[in-house]
Structure 1
Amino acid sequence: MLSKYMKPRAIRREGQTIAGRFRGGKLAPIMAAAVRESESGTLTQSVTCELDPIAGRMITPITMEVTAVFVPALAINEVKNPSEDYAGVSEVFREKLLSGAPVFGLENENEITKRLGVEPRSIGGVKKVNEAVRFAHIAAVNHLRQKKYVKASLLNNTAMEVTPAIIGKTVLDRLNAVLDPEDRVNGAVILEGRMNVRNIRRETSDTVTGAGTQWESHDGNVTNQPNSANLHAFPNSSDFPYVRLPDSGLSLSDFYQAERMDELTRQMRKMVDDDPQHGEEMVQRFAHGLSIEGGNQPFVLYQKEVVFGQSLQRAMDGANLDKTQTNTSQTIEYVVPIPQTEFGGIVITFASVKPDETLGSQPHPILSDNWGARNYVADELAVDPVPVTVRELNADCDQADENTVVCYNGNNHLLKQYVNYGFNRHLDTSTVENKTAIWQLEIPLSVTPETVTYPSDISHYPFADQTAEICTYNVTSMLRANTPIIFGPTPVEELAEIETANIFEDQ
């Protein structure tokens, strides 16, 4: 009985076809589809993007990406009320709904709602839209950023502008690397800690190499320090004090525990990667056997990348007759199911046009290194993370930065896959002809909260108008939802003859 009005009673359809333009390197919102309480169904969308013509031949690939994100109402409420306790908890949200006041009110239309194709309602001459649309856009962008890097910088709830696109593959993705290796994996036995030292003394003999020649020790008769032992060292000396730490050794149980710790650490790391927004909280609750609210997490319904075709076409008239240009157009079509949720949500669809993403002049891992005999036995035993320096990723790095550690990956992982394309180093890439043949973005050599997204504005040099929105898109969206909404009977137009002729003789 309680679920009577949660069951579908009718079909609700929502169809839109809109067109627009956006710049390259932007995460452009192109469509919003509302899903009300307890609705479920299918979403069919077709997105066609066409780039402005590029003179000559483009030799680097240009990528089109479409992403559809379902943002639950609980996630929208969290964005709207970031400082409110339990904003993403179902029972608290139910109480808000039962209060009678609108959970999401109206606001003036803005750039985001205009780009999403939301037609406003005129109230007092002012165009109004529901604020949930903008909050859903913010939640979707934040989810995609955290999905790429857990600690990525996030938008606040006042954002009203189109945001930069998210880098497809960071240096960590390309190299299968990490910024800070976890010490509790690969069977590591932790020996760090505070331990009592039984004795401190000076080594006077020469039996220990490098010990004691530049060290002095004093007994407890030092003035004002009757119960102390002091060590003094010369700063320029490489000698070390002869301090011993008694150790009873390691037991087999230590290694069993290390293996179990490795397994648990990997499980908890996967929790954070699967749910970047609440992953760290999930780890804490996992350790105490507690569950977490699951309905406040946005999730990706669909994501796909395609490469624009690079065919050539000739101009047919005018001054450019018989000249060639790159013809770029691509379409992505898909059908995805919409899951049933108690509070509903909004599906935000994004489109992006990205230049070729590349590591800047990555040295060849074999042909830029010494060639000698490889010790395969040592390689098989090498399980510790290996630091990757700037000189291994950028051939044109500054001398002072050559030894700077960028990240860590497995032994010989730089040899697994090497990709490099573009003009060779001998060619002059400063000429107009060569610059118009390549559209590339050099991804940062490290991952920080700010570097998982594109710069705020990237160069559009290959295009004729470098300041214009160079991509024209057309998106068609059809939502078919099974809904519990009760639709009243269809009214019938008044028939005057019934009254005039007194057909029913009721007068």
Structure 2
Amino acid sequence: EGGFVSQKVTFELDPIAGRMITPIYGELTSVFVPVQAMDAIRDPDAAYAGMTEVIREKLLSGNPLFGLEPEGQISKRCGVNPRSIGGVKKVSEAVRLGHNAAVNFLRQRKYVKASTVLASNTAMTPALISQTVLERLNGVLDPDDHINGRVDFAGQIPVKGIGIEADAVLTSNATFRETGGGTRTAGKAFDMSRTNANGGVGFIATGTLGVPAVFADLAGAEGVSLSDFYLAQKQDELTRKMRQFVDDNPEYGEEMALRWAHGLSVDSGKMPFVISEQRRAFGRSLVGATDTGGVQSDVMRSDMMLELSFNVPVPRTELGGIIITFCSIKPDETISSQPHPFLSDAWGADNFVAAELAIDPVPVTIRELDSDCAAAQESTVALYTGLNQLKATYVHYGLSRQLDRTTVENKTAVWQLEVPMSVTPDSILYPATLSQYPFADQAAEVCTYVVTSNVVMQTPMIIGPTPVEELAVIDDKDIFETEA
């Protein structure tokens, strides 16, 4: 079965007193969740969870694949009207499983190691941050060391400058001097006799200070040939290709890479996919805050409304699935306190020849991301980027550092969310509470969503003939003139 789906969502935000100078965004993300994905999340530890052939056998057994359960917050928000059975309002558990599978897919698409929800989750989840600091700065948390032509040196390296005492008679309290030291240091008593199981090691003293001279003689190291660098280059290419698997398929990417290495394929039927993703800013038009003129005519408010729509085909699938559409209202996500990449650094000449050779990942510290960071965290590495990646794109807007951010006027004029300086399994989600107006009241429904959905599907489902209401004339007269 396959077809065409059309959805239109109208966002109507509650009026905001005063003038909002930062944009507010509406996001719409529609995900197609196959039946295999819902089966996989229901019992992820089961053998062959989500495999198409196993689900075929379950369907052929005659038992329902997804049972009924009491309606919950998810089904209510999805607009699924329940069926009353014994006075209990029941819906299919596929609604909950499809929602949770879509949430996990979107989270892992944002960050592979993101915290996921369980199949039993019955509550709405926080929205995802639209762009993490890694996406904005084109960085990574832990760069792989198998790329950029890494070659492992193998072989035993002899070390000179260490002598072992062989005299079976000598016993004494040894004193020693550490490398780089200037004075003799009293050491522990070393028993050099053969009767002591703990043998002693003596260092050959050189120079006027009498410090040990320990160094490696690389003449005995194993040689590195040109083929080792060719292999390193090939390893680099394969590693980048496998990383692309994970980025394109966040849930099963590592499994795909493992099977690809052995020439095996992955059942792609259990992978959700995004059919539409849109993001647009509200209009922010100013209107009067009162219905009539008079003494209140100068009071203004921001009137905000937005409409998003999409028309997409739904690909043909054997077992079907559920389309879950997520709508969210988001503030202006910003890294507002990022130091200026040029004007907060020393001004000097660039060495373009040296920059051509700088291919290793460059660590980015908190000092380079946050002007107001604590002194103890300045040298903490937050992520890694390529050379000069921070200088390639720099965006700053909002209140200047001269203004007082604690005043009521500035609080209501700017609604921003500070993007976390690093990515953790939970930092890709919005915080539980936002202090800014108008979303400080978490229990209030501050946005009205009007959703219109239409779908046209080609289906082999048999639809029987329409019944005909009883005709009284047939009882009185044989209008068909049939023979007795």
Cα distance, 1:198 vs. partner? 3.5
- Per-residue CA deviations over 1:439-491 (Å, capped at 9, x if unaligned) read 11111111011111111232242469675221111010001000010111111
SS at match of 1:74: helix
Partners of 1:211 and 1:242 within 8 A in 2: no
- Are 2:284 and 2:304, in contact at CA under 8 Å, matched by a contact in 1? yes
State how far apart, in whole Å, the 2-side matches of 1:169 and 1:309 are: 22
Q: Secondary structure of 2:373's partner?
A: coil
1:479 matched to 2:455: yes
- Distance in 2, Cα, partners of 1:275 & 1:230: 58
Greater mean alpha carbon deviation, residues 133-142 or residues 359-368: 359-368
Which of 284, 290, 293 is 1:310 aligned to? 284
Residue in structure 2 matched with residue 145 of structure 1 by the alignment: 107
Describe how 1:426-437 pairs up with structure 2 within 5 A.
Answer: 426-437=402-413
> Is contact 2:32-2:275 (8 Å) kept?
yes
Tell me the distance in 1 between the aligned counterparts of 2:20 and 2:8. 26
Asked whether the 8 Å contact 1:219–1:230 carries over to 2, the reply is: no
The residue type paired with residue 260 of structure 1 is K
Structure-1 separation of matches of 2:65 and 2:469: 37
Q: Is residue 164 of structure 1 aligned with residue 126 of structure 2?
A: yes
> Following TM superposition, where does structure 1 have runs of at least 4 consecutive aligned residues deviating by more than 4 angstroms?
210-216, 218-233, 462-467
In the alignment, structure 1 residue 270 sits paired with structure 2 residue 244 = yes
Aligned to 2:44: 82
Instruction: Kindly indicate whether residue 214 of structure 2 is the aligned counterpart of residue 241 of structure 1.
Output: yes
Amino acid at match of 1:480: V
Aligned equivalent of 1:359: 335
> Partner residue of 1:14?
none
1:432-471 alignment to 2 at 5 Å?
A: 432-462=408-438, 467-471=443-447
Select which of 92, 96, 116 maps to 2:78: 116
User: Does residue 335 in structure 1 map to residue 314 in structure 2?
Assistant: no
**Corresponding residue for residue 376 of structure 1:** 352
Question: Shift of residue 375 of structure 1?
Answer: 1.6
Report the Cα offset of residue 227 of structure 1.
Answer: 8.9
**1:166-315 paired onto structure 2 within 5 Å:** 166-191=128-153, 195-202=155-162, 223-224=195-196, 241-245=214-218, 246-315=220-289
Indicate conservation of the 8 Å contact 1:460/1:466, yes or no: no
In 1, the alpha carbon distance for the partners of 2:198 and 2:443 equals 78
In 2, Cα distance between the equivalents of 1:219 and 1:248? 37
Tell me the number of residue pairs that the alignment of Structure 1 and Structure 2 aligns: 457
Deviation at 1:232, TM superposition (A): 11
Distance 1:148 1:222, change over 3 A: farther
1:305 partner amino acid: R
**Partner secondary structure for residue 268 of structure 2:** coil
Contact 1:45-1:477 within 8 A present in 2 as well: yes
The answer on whether the counterparts of 2:363 and 2:383 sit within 8 Å (CA) in structure 1 is yes
Q: Distance in 2 between matches of 1:239 and 1:365?
A: 46
- Compared with structure 1, are the counterparts of its residues 232 and 79 closer, same or farther at alpha carbon in structure 2 (3 Å cutoff)? farther
2:215 counterpart letter in structure 1: Y
Range moving further from structure 2, 317-326 or 88-97: 317-326
CA distance in 2, matches of 1:359, 1:411: 20
DSSP 3-state at the match of 2:413? coil
Q: What CA RMSD, in Å, does the superposition of the two structures yield over aligned residues?
A: 2.7
Name the residue aligned to 2:371. Answer: 395
The alignment's TM-score, normalised by the length of structure 2, stands at 0.89
Among candidates 53, 71, 82, match of residue 33 of structure 2:
71
Question: Relative to 1, partners in 2 of residues 1:488 and 1:232: Cα closer, same or farther, differing over 3 Å?
Answer: farther
Q: What is the CA–CA distance in structure 2 between the aligned matches of 1:421 and 1:178, rounded to whole Å?
A: 25
Paired amino acid for 1:101: N
How far does the alpha carbon of each residue in 1:320-368 deviate from its partner, in whole angstroms, 9 at most, with x for none? 4442111111111110110111110000001011001111411111111
1:212–1:241 contact (8 Å) kept in structure 2: no
- CA separation in 1, counterparts of 2:181 and 2:443? 70
Q: 1:211, 1:240 within 8 Å by CA — same for their partners in 2? A: no
For residue 225 of structure 1, report the CA deviation from its aligned partner. Answer: 5.2
For the residue of structure 2 that corresponds to 1:384, the secondary structure is: coil
Separation in 1, partners of 2:50, 2:435: 40
> How much does 1:104 deviate?
0.1
- Structure ranking higher on relative contact order (CA contacts 8 Å, 6+ apart): 1
Cα distance in 1, alignment partners of residues 30 and 203 from structure 2: 65
The amino acid across from 1:383 in the alignment is I
Assess, with a 3 A threshold, how the Cα gap between structure 1 residues 464 and 259 changes in structure 2: closer, same or farther. closer
1: distance between equivalents of 2:257 and 2:61?
34
TM-superposed deviation, 1:503: 2.4
- CA distance 1:226–1:420, shift in 2 (3 Å): closer
Provide the C-alpha distance between the structure 1 equivalents of 2:455 and 2:330, rounded to a whole number of angstroms.
Answer: 28
Q: Is the 8 A contact 2:275 2:312 kept in 1?
A: yes
Secondary structure (helix, strand or coil) at the match of 1:103 reads coil
TM-score normalised over the length of structure 1: 0.85
* Ranges in structure 1 where 5+ consecutive residues have no aligned partner: 1-38, 204-209
1:45 is aligned to 2:7: yes
Shift of 1:40: 0.4
**What is the one-letter code of the residue matched to 1:118?**
V
Unaligned runs of 5+ in 2: 164-178, 206-210
Measured in 1, the distance between the counterparts of 2:416 and 2:194 equals 70
Pair 1:495-2:463 in alignment: no
Q: Kindly indicate whether the alpha-carbon contact (under 8 Å) linking 2:157 and 2:221 is maintained by their aligned counterparts in 1.
A: no
Task: Return closer, same or farther for 1:265/1:465 CA change in 2, 3 Å cut-off.
Answer: closer
Pair 288,211 (structure 1): closer, same or farther in 2 beyond 3 Å: farther
Q: Which moved more, 1:97-106 or 1:81-90?
A: 81-90
Q: Distance in 1 between matches of 2:180 and 2:440?
A: 71
Distance in 2 between residues matched to 1:253 and 1:222, nearest whole Å: 49
**Deviation string, structure 1 residues 273-314 (Cα, Å, up to 9, x no partner):** 111111111111111111111100000000010011122112
Distance 2:446 2:213 in 1: 66
Q: Deviations over 1:189-223 (max 9, x none)?
A: 233x6x434455339xxxxxx6798899x999765
Q: Tell me, in whole angstroms, the C-alpha distance in 2 between the residues paired with 1:43 and 1:100.
A: 30
The structural deviation recorded for 1:83 is 2.3
Q: Tell me the secondary structure at the aligned position of residue 166 of structure 1.
A: coil
Q: Are the aligned partners of 2:15 and 2:304 in contact in 1 as well (CA < 8 Å)?
A: yes
Query: Alignment partner of 1:52: what SS?
Result: strand
